[in-house]
Amino acid sequence: MKKDIVIMIVDDNVNFVSRMTGLLENIDGISSINVVGDYESAVRLLIEQTPDFLLLDINLPGKSGMEILKMIKDKNLECEVIMVTNHADDYYRNQCKKLGAKHFLDKSSEFGLVTKIISQQILNWSVTL
């Protein structure tokens, strides 16, 4: 199994972050969960320590999560991006996928899929090692 899985959550909704952190803490293999709530902090942390998984909202203080996706693509950072947003219409879905988001979930109805996606990917990594 890949050791020391790092997750980063970029979202300014404290309730969502609390719920998601609680769910992620139950997944074996995750060594740390870093949380930031704005664009500038996210960019700084991404450059310091690129996570294995990035849970990213579109609507952030500063600039949008789509700007973070552009930065990840421009700098060729390797992390699996899971968009979790209330802006779950086709326009945003298509734009985020073009910018490299692997998954795009509706925050209000699909947030529970995050743990399934991450658990499955960790399992896949353990099989390929």
Q: What is the pLDDT of residues 85-121, one digit of tens each?
A: 999 899 999 999 999 999 999 999 998 899 999 999 9
Torsion of CA 53, 57, 25, 34, to 10 degrees: 70
- Percent of the chain at pLDDT > 90 equals 85
* Region 3-18 average pLDDT: 94
Give the pLDDT score at 2. Answer: 58
Per-residue tokens: 21: 């952190």
Residues 6+ apart with CB under 8 A from 118: 5, 7, 24, 27, 30, 53, 82
129 pLDDT band (50/70/90 cuts)? low
* Region 7-30 average pLDDT: 95
Give the pLDDT score at 3. Answer: 66
The DSSP code for 100 is T
| Burial (0-12, 13-18, 19+ Cβ within 10 Å), 106 | middle
Q: Give me the sign of the Cα torsion angle 119, 120, 123, 124.
A: negative
